[in-house]
Chains A and B, each alone.
Chain A
């Protein structure tokens, strides 16, 4: 079974440019998460989806960050415009929720963003 797929793996952009990250979760996983990991720190949750609905986006900087999961499968995280402080690894994770109980989260390899 394929794991969580993310692309691109690496992205280098200049500040003020837009950037987008894509995630394909594990088949059958209805819950999807985006995390950000700064250098030397643990990942921090940005947004969580249950199917198409964003159920927790309290940590997403909404002035420049947006996310979507239109058909409840793939998801895209966008930053516009990017700032120097956005340089980080962006991780996608997915899990299966069944009858109110959520299974283990499985992570993708991440996208390393460098903003120059």
Chain B
């Protein structure tokens, strides 16, 4: 299973962009990169996922390098409510379903 590496913590100022990096150098060609976040005392919340192309939705943008060995989650205008643990996960395929293997994530603190 491909593993991910994330910095344990980051911070950014409210209103600025938050760029959260993730390394997944052993990712396979058919594995997706998923991002979830977990706000204190809540379950993980799906943010975005991608295979090789950059993706954008109402929450964030996902930039995947051409060699697919790393990616960056971008929160364009961080708010205090974005303070959470962010998990970068590589999707493991098997039995037509998939298992999410969570690492320790990045604890993002958005400062007022």
Using a CB–CB distance below 8 Å, which chain A residues touch chain B? Answer: 4, 31, 40-45, 48, 50, 55-56, 91, 93, 95, 97, 100-102, 104-110, 112
- A12–chain B nearest beta-carbon distance, Å: 16
Closest to B96 in A: A100
CB distance from A44 to the nearest CB of B (A): 7
CB distance from B21 to the nearest CB of A (A): 17
Q: How far is the CB of B90 from chain A (nearest CB, A)?
A: 13
Please determine whether A110 and B100 come into contact, CB atoms closer than 8 angstroms: no
Interface residues, chain B, with chain A CB atoms under 8 Å away: 34, 36, 41-46, 49, 87, 95-105
Judge whether B99 and A48 touch: CB under 8 Å: yes
Complex Cα gap A50–B42 (Å): 25
- Min CB gap B96→A, angstroms: 5
Given contacts A104-B46, A107-B43, A109-B43, contact A45 B100 (CB under 8 A): yes
Distance of A109 Cα from B38 Cα, bound (Å): 10
Q: Are A107 and B97 in contact, with the CB atoms below 8 A? A: no
CA distance A107 to B45 in the complex (A): 7
CB distance from A111 to the nearest CB of B (A): 10
- Give chain B nearest CB distance to A110 CB in angstroms: 5
Beta-carbon contact of A105 and B100 below 8 Å: yes
Contacts of B100 in A (CB 8 A): 43, 45, 105
Contact A102 B104 (CB under 8 A): no
With the chains together, A104 CA to B98 CA distance in Å? Answer: 9
Q: Which of A48, A50, A95, A107 has the most CB of B within 10 A?
A: A107
The 26 listed contacts between A and B (C-beta, < 8 Å) are A31-B97, A41-B104, A42-B87, A42-B102, A42-B103, A43-B44, A43-B102, A45-B100, A45-B101, A48-B99, A50-B97, A56-B95, A56-B99, A91-B43, A95-B97, A101-B96, A102-B96, A102-B97, A102-B98, A104-B34, A104-B49, A106-B46, A107-B36, A108-B43, A109-B43, A110-B43
